[in-house]
Structure 1
Amino acid sequence: MAQQQITLTNYTFKPGSIEVGKVVVLPGTKGKVILKGASANSFTLDKDNTLIAKKPLSEPWVDVVLAIEQEQSTRQETFRIVKDEFLANGVIAHRGAFKNTGATENSIGALQHAIRLGCAGSEFDVHMSSDSVLFVHHDHDVNGIHIEKTPAADLAKLKLPNGEYLPTLKAYLLTGLNQNKTKLILEIKPSAISKARGQALAQKVVELVQKHQAQGWVDYISFDYDILKKVLELEPYAKVAYLNGEKAPAELAKDNLYGLDYNLAVLQKNPHWIKEAHRLGLTVNAWTVNSPEMMDWLLERRADFITTNEPEILLEKVKKLKTK
């Protein structure tokens, strides 16, 4: 897949709004951006290339075709713009909603349960097979079979405890794209083999998200800072957050990250980072928070997101806060 030459600053639109975001020509690309196809009848580009709907959009999502007119050719891309009805309760189901549902963690069933519960996001982990196919699983191995050292044909035969086959990222994305309430929180796992392979994994992930026009649904997280930098190189306005916990908010803001996503213990040790992050325009997430008392501690400090194996408990707490 050829690298995109144009991108958007935003892939969602607010209900009732007509402005989407700016169309950005990536470095090294020259030419005039124009609208093509049916989208040319529904949208317009203003003088600074802001994409604007001619009337408020009613559909859950709509495809926009943008092209760059160059001297001897025209290169076009299709982008899916999704209505921003994503839930704002801050509840992120860790590896999907599995603990209280009977689903296997990181299964498509766990994702579906998280969506049905009404979680703001469902987190999941991605690895790459020896022949560069992307699979969803937490550990580097499945019952002793190392994902990175095994071809996709063999991995596809592996069954999870709930009877599902080991899901590919493609299948996971296609399930998540059937709705626009729950964000897909995609964790790119550092390679156990090499840093170079981690970079290749990041590239494959972003390309697959772009291929399925899923940018409006997907946020990225990783323990590998260089992986997040690679994501931003390929998709400059993607929402990415760092997991490892050793970097102060100012460093993340300098590198244009969306937020920090740190272990609860890190934030307890550095509670001032929560206010500092917010002052710098960063979001704050904490993982993996299963204690009701610690949920309360984070809610009192206005953490934007809380990642938990107990989404049912956290959803109830958020609901009660809203009724006070």
Structure 2
Amino acid sequence: MLPAMFAAVAAFGQSHHLHLDNYTIPVAKKGALVGKLHDQKGPLSRPQILEDTSNLFTLNKKGELRLKKKQALRADAPAFQYTITVQTGDSKESFTLVRDDFHRNKVVAHRGAFKNNAGSENSLTSLKDAIRIGCEGSEFDVWLSSDGVPVLSHDPHIGGKVVEETTLAELQKIELKNGDRVPTFEEYIQEAMKQNGTHMVLELKPSKKGRAIELTQTCYNLIRKYQCQAWMLYISFDYDICKKLVELDPFAKVAYLNGEKSPAELKADKIWGLDYSMKAIDKDISILQTAKKAGITTNIWTVNDPAKMDEYLKAGVDYITTNEPEILLQKVK
């Protein structure tokens, strides 16, 4: 076995170069296209499915992954996750495909659905509540603990401790509201993957200790480990984090938070979306339509005023992040 230090370095440097451009399976469509296989190293070479225990899928020489011609995925099928292993050349990778029952209601619960429920913000309880009420996404914030574990906290400190200077064991001694404790990103993934209606909206926090790229790579390694790409949306105030995510996965749905980049700049850097504050959007609300024309998705945070929700919905925003998801859900019914 590798010594612990070298094992950690190997994990940090882990590289995956096979990707799908989509991981969700359309419902009730025979022979539906699921996604296309891509190899960052170059052209595909004899792509094939090595393992498909469901016997539902086919992969052609162009890398198109489809349901078999006479197969359609029923909405009431007992399973919603399907794992396949594919190969191209001497490279192989396993992916989890997910029946597409994800909500499309624009509602992103800020730090989970915590304000009107019993749980703490950024907790497994607030995630469960966001899922329970039917949000399209549940947003949460992640830092690295001092021993390199991604953990949830909005602020750089929690319970009187600086997250990046505190071990996971010490952080998990902190008691939050309703008996919640500080969860790890890994625990959050495990909980989110029990369902297929609500996306995880992962905010990767900038680091004053120079650990932003380490955080990004560590989280990405967990995402590949659990094959949870179908559930993931990414956001960050750190543009280098956004670009690193796109480098790791060219099809990752990454949105930038800080507000100063134009849709054209984001498109040039292959960033999927802009996720700007109300203040930034209100300076020029036409940016929503400019972004739409450029193929850039739009989100606005943090919108708690019902009148502003109405205004932004009328203006055509794609998503709204809010501490009042229950109110917004009523508006988008």
TM-score (norm 2): 0.90
Alignment correspondent of 1:263: 277
Q: Given the alignment of the two structures, is residue 14 of structure 1 paired with residue 19 of structure 2, yes or no? A: no
Query: Does the 8 Å contact 1:34/1:69 carry over to 2?
Result: no
Alignment correspondent of 2:80: 60
Residue from 248, 253, 258 that aligns with 2:267: 253
Partner-residue secondary structure (3-state), 2:229? coil
Q: CA deviation at 1:275?
A: 0.5
The aligned runs of 1:127-142 (5 Å cut-off) are 127-142=143-158
2:82 partner amino acid: V
- Counterpart Cα distance in 2 of 1:29 and 1:253: 24
Q: CA deviation at 1:291?
A: 0.5
Alignment correspondent of 2:8: none
Query: Does the 8 Å contact 2:199/2:232 carry over to 1?
Result: yes
Q: CA deviation at 1:30?
A: 7.4
Query: Does the 8 Å contact 2:47/2:60 carry over to 1?
Result: no
2:19 partner amino acid: T
Once superposed, what is the RMSD of the aligned Cα atoms? 1.5
Query: Does the 8 Å contact 2:108/2:137 carry over to 1?
Result: yes
Q: CA deviation at 1:174?
A: 0.7
Query: Does the 8 Å contact 1:13/1:81 carry over to 2?
Result: yes
Equivalences, count: 313
1:36 partner amino acid: L
Alignment correspondent of 1:298: 312
Structure 2: tracts of 5 or more residues without a match = 1-10
- Counterpart Cα distance in 1 of 2:313 and 2:42: 44
Alignment correspondent of 2:16: 4
Structure 1: tracts of 5 or more residues without a match = 320-324
With over 3 angstroms needed to count, the CA separation of the structure-2 counterparts of 1:295 and 1:30, relative to structure 1, is closer
Q: Given the alignment of the two structures, is residue 313 of structure 1 paired with residue 313 of structure 2, yes or no? A: no
Query: Does the 8 Å contact 2:47/2:61 carry over to 1?
Result: no
Query: Does the 8 Å contact 1:5/1:29 carry over to 2?
Result: no
Query: Does the 8 Å contact 2:153/2:182 carry over to 1?
Result: yes
Q: CA deviation at 1:46?
A: 1.8
1:302 partner amino acid: G
- Counterpart Cα distance in 2 of 1:45 and 1:28: 18
2:280 partner amino acid: V
Residue from 85, 89, 94 that aligns with 1:69: 89
Q: Give CA-to-partner distance per residue, 1:228-251, whole Å, 9 cap, x none.
A: 111111111010000000111111
Query: Does the 8 Å contact 1:222/1:228 carry over to 2?
Result: yes
Alignment correspondent of 1:207: 221
TM-score (norm 1): 0.93
Percentage of matched positions with identical amino acids: 44
The aligned runs of 1:219-230 (5 Å cut-off) are 219-230=233-244
Q: Given the alignment of the two structures, is residue 189 of structure 1 paired with residue 205 of structure 2, yes or no? A: yes
Alignment correspondent of 1:42: 56
- Counterpart Cα distance in 2 of 1:119 and 1:79: 25
Q: Give CA-to-partner distance per residue, 1:212-231, whole Å, 9 cap, x none.
A: 11100010000001101111
- Counterpart Cα distance in 2 of 1:84 and 1:24: 21
Residue from 164, 170, 175 that aligns with 1:148: 164
Alignment correspondent of 1:322: none
